Structure 1
């Protein structure tokens, strides 16, 4: 019979997870006190700024348990946070994980979720140093606070883009959104979770290593990850920088799988590229004379696809799409809104 949380209790579960972390995780650099005391404690590294981010995932709102394995769910939850750290030019160090779980949840599922967390943290020798577990009667949730570091003075913000800067984007924005659409419409179909677009949605990956490389290069003026969708997150750069943007329609990257999926749904592929899609790619702005150098930095960091898609303008909060004939159309950024309809 499958062992449930109610069979071993809160502290029995904490003990099991602590043992798992000791065996399969890393101790973490600079950690003085880890799991087991009232708080965790660590010594920051000299010459570095500390970055802190947090993100929550709620069952039924951010994930459907019947569509994602516990291991992939753990990976996805941690990727969201690692991507934020990477978009500021940092690398992850320490995580605090809080869970709201129903008593009938299988213990093995919680352990597999933690293995998913470690799958993403271990390459950085980052560690889980604390957290909280509570019982819920309704939807389960995951809440992660992640701390990272970046060399002093190397943090990249979203608020420092300048008119005339080139706009670069990694990868193929829209793939995750198209994958979610496929998953919802083909739910229950055998093997749907293994399609490339669906995998991009379930386990999107992150660009933390590339973000770090760009930060250390000193070539970029602003950077953000595409957690809300390409257009929505470009809108955040424009909003915070008091600037606008012109996008060249012909330069927006289109993935073949995305094109085929859009065709199947009778939609324009650009609607996926510009729409809500948590791809966790990077949008980078830099002076036009540094574009080639930034692309080289990204390629050396393992990024295969980089597109120069437009430029920052002085037209505050105005984003225009320029077609092949030079025609202009104003487009309005609308990223993912947790309270939107």
Structure 2
């Protein structure tokens, strides 16, 4: 019979997790004191600014307990935080993890969640340096705080876009939403590519750093609320509108196939609510070629030029192939409204 947290106890669990992290994790730079004390002690590196983000996943709200495995859950919980660091063009360093678990949770399940954390952190030389564990009678949850760094003055913000800037996007937006829909309808029949896009998204850290280091971009953020919803965040903070070209929006074969099965326009999925953790990037039009080259140099992730920023009075619009312009209404995820 597997060990449960009730039989193991809080301190027994902490000891097992500390041993796992020491055995399977990596040593991150700047750690003066890691696990085992009241706080971690971290030493900022010269010439760097610190980036700090946090995200919480709640069972039944942000993930499907009956569908996602514990290692996938750990990967997803860490990936959504890594994506925030990617959006600033930064390097992840140190993670703090808080877990709310039921007494009936098994040690094996919790260890697999932590192995999911390490699967995302280890390739980037980042480490778990502390955290907290509590018992909950309600839904289980994972809360991650992630610390990263970027060269001083080089982190990219949402507010730097200018009218006339080109809009670029990495990867295939909309796939996560399609994957979630398939997993809800028939988990065993979900397309592998769409399933993977939702359960274990890949944060675009190399791409984000390449963009920031190139000095060619004006603004950047990651897609956690859908392409249209997050593009609207850039427009609001940069005081612009945006015109997207329908013919240039990337539609993957898997997404097109799913949309066809549902009798739906694939562009509705590409533009709609979808936590894909791809990057939206804006840049002056003369920098597009250089930025595309910088992105191509760090991996096989496609990038598409999908539109341009427009004067703020024009709002968000979609240019159709026949020349007609259709106004777009962003929605995005609202924790208290959805």
Shared fold per TM-score greater than 0.5: yes
How many residues are treated as equivalent by the alignment?
338
Match runs of 1:1-341 below 5 Å: 1-187=1-187, 189=188, 192=189, 195-316=192-313, 318-341=315-338
CA distance in 1, matches of 2:306, 2:26: 40
Gap regions ≥5 residues in structure 1: none
Partner of 1:96, secondary structure, is strand
Higher alpha-carbon deviation: 317-326 or 126-135: 317-326
Kept in 2, the 8 Å contact 1:259–1:269? The answer is yes
Kept in 2, the 8 Å contact 1:239–1:316? The answer is no
Gap regions ≥5 residues in structure 2: none
CA distance in 2, matches of 1:21, 1:317: 52
CA distance in 1, matches of 2:301, 2:222: 17
CA distance in 2, matches of 1:286, 1:224: 13
Q: Give the drift of 1:74.
A: 0.3
CA distance in 1, matches of 2:288, 2:21: 42
Q: Residue deviations 1:188-235, cap 9 Å, x none? A: x3xx36622111111111101110111011000000101111000000
Q: Give the drift of 1:304.
A: 3.1
Q: Give the drift of 1:315.
A: 2.2
Q: Flag as ranges the 4+ runs of structure 1 deviating above 6 A.
A: none
The normalised TM-score by structure 1 is 0.97
**RMSD in angstroms over aligned alpha carbons?**
1.0
In structure 2, relative to structure 1, the CA distance for the partners of 1:270 and 1:193 (3 Å cut) is closer
CA distance in 2, matches of 1:138, 1:157: 37
